[in-house]
Every structure is written in structure tokens, then in C-alpha cells.
Amino acid sequence: MKIHPHDQTVLDRVAEAGAHILSRAVAWSGINSGSRNDAGLARMLDVLEAEARTLPAEIARIPTSPSSIVGDDGRVIQQAHADCLKITARPDAPIQVVLTGHYDTVFPADSPFQTVTTRADGALNGPGLADMKGGISVLLGALDAFEAHPDKDRVGWTVLLSPDEEIGSPASAPLLAELARAGILGLTYEPALADGTLAGARKGSGNWHLIVTGKAAHAGRAFEEGRNAVAGAAILAAALHGLNGQREGVSVNVAKISGGGALNVVADNAVVRFNVRVPDAQSAAWIEHAVTEIASTPPFEGLSLHLHGGFTRPPKPMDAAQTELFEAVRQTGALLGQTIAWKSSGGVCEGNNLHAAGLPNIDTLGVLGGDIHSEDEFAWPDSFVERAQLSVLILCKTASGEIDAHRLKSLRLETL
């Protein structure tokens, strides 16, 4: 591969837009859009829709379905979610590229972390700046530049920006799967590591909520008449924790036990919340069976158990399609003087969902940064242009056939 004159034209266009790509991400970082902040999500969606209208594409808000959540009292309720934003150009082109990102963050409306500052070393410290408002700005900047390429008509693209990635994509998962099945190549804009390293193989992730129901009684006058749900939850939590170390690469994190009330009342309700990580489909089947067995047997008489949840992100191994795609991206980066490396990650993202539905994808094409999900989250300013240029050159090489997207898709489908 080499950089052709028309490729250089779009790369220059990204460079010229660099200040805008950075500044709008900084502005977006100042809009709190925590996954449960309905007002903030609505404001962010309005801003993104207005920005998307600068592209020669069809814009649509896609309603999402409610998802079930388990309250601390054990009640199961329906939780509504904001719309997804879908941006589509040339849906009949021979190569269809799916680009995804999320506009929610982990920071709630009352978080003290609300503004962007510049560190002494030049890095920008801001909520959601790396994860992933910077990535969305990079994505849009790359697409804007690509529209000036003479081979653009060979590539159609669809962007899906979702409101619920940080809580496992309960509402957007069906939309991601639908796009993945129709697409040929996937690009997702989670942040890379601070040195530019991409995520390679990813573990799968599942979230469960085990509801324990007992019987309330006065702790002094009628203790023996009660059935303590919190005590039962503690025994169950210990059993779940005991699954660790039984299968390589599988972890079970008991994150929270809630329930009970006054100290003189035998608790009649509790919820055990836990997350599992698995390296492959076989391990996923093993842990599901083990969890189901634990959840099917109350630890003592008088308790009832109800298990809710499951896998939200399937494993994403480095199969033949992923290996070949990473090599193509490495070569593309080299043309720009960017060293592209990757390593396995226990983290998960929309790339897991896209891969499971048959779409080969790179899922850390966002800005370079780190300390995400904390008040130390940061991004390197220079990486905004660098990563937008990497993305637009990937699109150029896909349009020219130097990256053979149809071959990659075929390789992926062979493993399903």
C-alpha cells in the first residue's frame, strides 16, 4: 500500500479541520450525559444530530425498547432509554462500513467532574473526553474528509451512536446486531491506550442479579419465624466467588449485596449483583451452567431465588478475520508514521456485539488516552487528528480494495 494523491487530499482535509475536531469534543465533554441522566442525554443527542446534518447523509433517531432492571428491594421494573442516532450514506454501495459509538458516559448528573482542564503535561482531563466524545468527533471528522475522495461511491457507511453502552447496551444491542449482519466491515471508537495500542482479543462479559426472598420477623421476639434473605445472599455470594480459579480465564466479581432494613428485623429481601468475564464461548457455557446451579438451590429452607440477567457482550477472540484486519490496519498506520500494536483486553464494548453478529471490526479507533471511568480521565490533543487520519485512510484503502473488506467478512462468517 501507498498514499495516493487523492488519499493525501483527504488527509490534508482532516488536518485542516483538526482544531474543530478537538474543540467540539471539548465542548461535548462539558455536557453531562451519564447513562441515567435523561435530560443530559437528550441535550447531547440534539447536539450530535445538529452536527451530523453537516454530512451528506440521512439522519434518523431510532427509538429503543425499555430494559428490565432489578431494584435494591428485588422488584423488577422497566427502564426507558434514549434514542439512538443513525446516520446513513449510500446504503446501496457494494461495501458497507458500520461505524459505532456511544454518547453516554459513566458520570452521573451530580458528579463533581464536569469540565475539561489542561494538565501540566498538555493532556486534556475531562469527563467522557476519551470515552468517547473524542472518538465520536474523530469518527465524524474522518467521514467528512472521506466524502471528498473520488472512490467514495464504492463505500456506503452507517453510523450508530447509542445512549447505553456504559450499562451494557441493553437497548441498543438489537440495533447493533442488525447493522452488523448487513455490514461488511466495522469501526468502533473506544479510546486506544495512551501509547496508541489497540484492543485485540476481548473477553465476554455478563451481568447477573440474584434476587433472594425470605420472611420478615422481629429479630428479638420471633427470630426463629424469620428467614434471613441477607444471610442467604451472603452464602450465595461466597459460592459464586468460589467459582474463581476453577477455569482458566474466567472471573466472577461479586460487586454488591443489597437488601434488608432495620437491625431488629429479619431481612426478607436481598439482591446479589455480580459480573463474569470469559475468554471464549465454551467458558461462557460453563459459567452459565455453574451460576444456574448455584441459583437453583436456596442455601437454607424458607428462601426463594430468582436469577435475572445474562451475557451482554459475547467474547471477541482473535480469529482469522480479526488477525487479517489488524494487519491491514497496522500497514495503514505505517503509511502515516503511526506504529499500530494491539493486545488482549478484559474490557468489553460494542465491538464484542458486532463480532458476535458476524462483523469483523476494530473497536479502539478513538483518541489516545487513559484513566477512563475516573476523574483522572484524559486524552492527548495531538491524537485527535492522528486518529481521524488513520480512520479516513482505512476508508480510502477499503474503497480502493487494498483492504479487502469482503474477504474479511467471508473469513468471519466461516467461524460462525
Q: What is the pLDDT along the chain (416 residues), one digit of tens a residue?
A: 899 999 999 999 999 999 999 999 999 999 999 999 999 999 999 999 999 999 999 999 999 999 999 999 999 999 999 999 999 999 999 999 999 999 999 999 999 999 999 999 999 999 999 999 999 999 999 999 999 999 999 999 999 999 999 999 999 999 999 999 999 999 999 999 989 999 999 999 999 999 999 999 999 999 999 999 999 999 999 999 999 999 999 999 999 999 999 999 999 999 999 999 999 999 999 999 999 999 999 999 999 999 999 999 999 999 999 999 999 999 999 999 999 999 999 999 999 999 999 999 999 999 999 999 999 999 999 999 999 999 999 999 999 999 999 999 999 999 98
**What are the beta bridge partners of residue 188?**
100
Question: Beta strands 185-188 and 361-362: pairing type?
Answer: parallel
The end-to-end CA distance of the chain, in Å, is 30
Domains and CATH numbers, the chain: 5-66+82-201+316-414 (3.40.630.10), 204-313 (3.30.70.360)
Question: Beta strands 95-102 and 185-188: pairing type?
Answer: parallel
User: What backbone phi and psi angles, to 5 degrees, belong to 148?
Assistant: -95, 0
Closest-CA residue to 329 (of 137, 145, 230, 200) = 200
Going across the sheet that includes 251-259, the strands are 251-259, 269-278, 204-213, 304-313
- Note whether 322 and 360 are within 8 A (CB): yes
- 398's enclosing H/E stretch is helix 383-400
- 395's enclosing H/E stretch is helix 383-400
Q: What would the grid cell of residue 179 be?
A: 447493522
**Which residues neighbour 302 within 8 Å (Cβ) at sequence distance 6 or greater?**
214, 215, 227
Total-model pTM: 0.94
What CA–CA distance (Å, rounded) separates 198 from 343? Answer: 7
The answer to whether the peptide bond before residue 44 is cis (omega within 30 degrees of 0) is: no
Q: What is the Cα gyration radius of the chain?
A: 23
Closest-CA residue to 410 (of 234, 228, 185) = 185
